[in-house]
Chains A and B, each alone.
Chain A
């Protein structure tokens, strides 16, 4: 394939630099084969552009989504809080306070996203994609689906039951979500690669959101970041966290 053929797609997509674009324009004045290619690809692009616009939402659905958004408590403070924080961060750049604040903020955002994933699992009739209480079934299921491996603890406490697992995304990073029942309360354990989620401090905390209270445990071990979240007492979460900490040492 010559240089020109290789550049035709980027040319048609308008992705060449202006110098390359000029060069290609000049070449096209002398090469009928490339002109034919360009014309064909432009036509293909146009056809695809209109063929791709196939589905239109119904008025009912549009109304439904609008209402569901309007019904949610507005967190308008978030809109102003973010730029305000940015200004504060610039003013105090370089101070120790900055790094602590940044870490806390990252942790809060992460917790908020994980709480959403946990609530989705709670609300779903099929919260897991691999349904099994056997860790030897659940762990291999994740192989090839996420870019790391982890150890699942052996459960000896009859109060804690493994329900299954699914792939979860935090930001853009894929990870594992394991769902446990502890005295019939659902608890999610999330495992992500530390380098994918960034450095986060080890933390035991509680998050109050609407009518729900979630307890969190989080820590890093062997390059992985673990988060345990659930609406159960902190002591119960610590039990699951300890099981994972011990399994991670193996």
Chain B
């Protein structure tokens, strides 16, 4: 089963629930098999199957609830990605791994998913654009905002965490 572990990991991050993630992954494979005729050779298989998983999630009860809370339009204006605006830097050690996971979990769904696709799945901007069905300019601006939001969520957590 291609990409099984990666799809499962992504599904868990989307749903935040292992049982729901299992249902989502299973439904994705069933849909991918049924819809293989709609897959055009020469296009990106990984983006295609992630798109099936994501669309299935978006039409689920949890998905609708997660997306209903965040208006996408406001932050999707195409612009150049913003660099780090604050002089404070965020340095993360291995012991702060868990804080990073908590911060990632707390992000709105559209920030969480784009960070996972870029950093964990190591997708190119082009693949992310195909997976999320958004233009590359939007990929860049959303990614930049997502990183900024993650840093902002993380900073107070790191400040509170004991160092040593």
Q: Which chain A residues have a beta carbon within 8 Å of chain B's beta carbons?
A: 1, 5-6, 8-10, 13, 15, 36-37, 40-41, 43-45, 47-57, 61-62, 64-66, 68-69, 72, 75, 78-79, 81-83, 86, 109, 112-113, 116, 120, 126, 129, 145, 166-169, 171-172
In the complex, chain B residues 113-148 whose Cβ is within 8 Å of any chain A Cβ: 115-116, 118-122, 124-125, 133, 140, 143-144, 147
Q: Let me know if B4 and A65 touch, CB within 8 A.
A: yes
| A86 CA to B5 CA, complexed, in Å | 33
Contacts A44-B92, A113-B35 given; indicate if A65 touches B1 (C-beta within 8 A): yes
On whether the beta carbons of A9 and B144 are closer than 8 Å, the reply is yes
Q: How far is the CA of A129 from the CA of B65 in the complex (A)?
A: 10
Main secondary structure, interface of B, reads helix
Complex contact A166–B59 (CB within 8 A): yes
CA A86 to CA B37, docked complex, whole Å? 12
Complex CA gap A81/B41 in Å reads 12
Inter-chain contact total with CB atoms closer than 8 Å: 144
B residues within 8 Å of A by Cβ? 1, 4-5, 8-9, 12-13, 18, 21-22, 25-27, 29-31, 33-38, 40-41, 51, 55, 58-59, 61, 64, 80-84, 89-92, 96-97, 100-101, 104, 115-116, 118-122, 124-125, 133, 140, 143-144, 147, 150-151
Whether the Cβ atoms of B1 and A66 lie closer than 8 Å is yes
Complex alpha-carbon distance, A49 and B121, angstroms: 8
B61 near A52 (CB under 8 angstroms)? no
Q: Are the CB atoms of B26 and A65 closer together than 8 Å? A: yes
Bound-complex Cα distance A91 to B144 (A): 47
Which of A40, A81, A82 makes the CB contact (< 8 A) with B90?
A40
Counting chain A CB atoms within 10 Å of each CB, the highest count among B8, B118, B119, B140 belongs to: B119
Chain B nearest CB, measured from A130 CB (Å): 10
Cβ of A113 and Cβ of B83 under 8 Å apart?
no
Identify which of B1, B80, B122, B143 contacts A49 (C-beta below 8 A): B122
Contact B104 A51, beta carbon cutoff 8 Å: yes
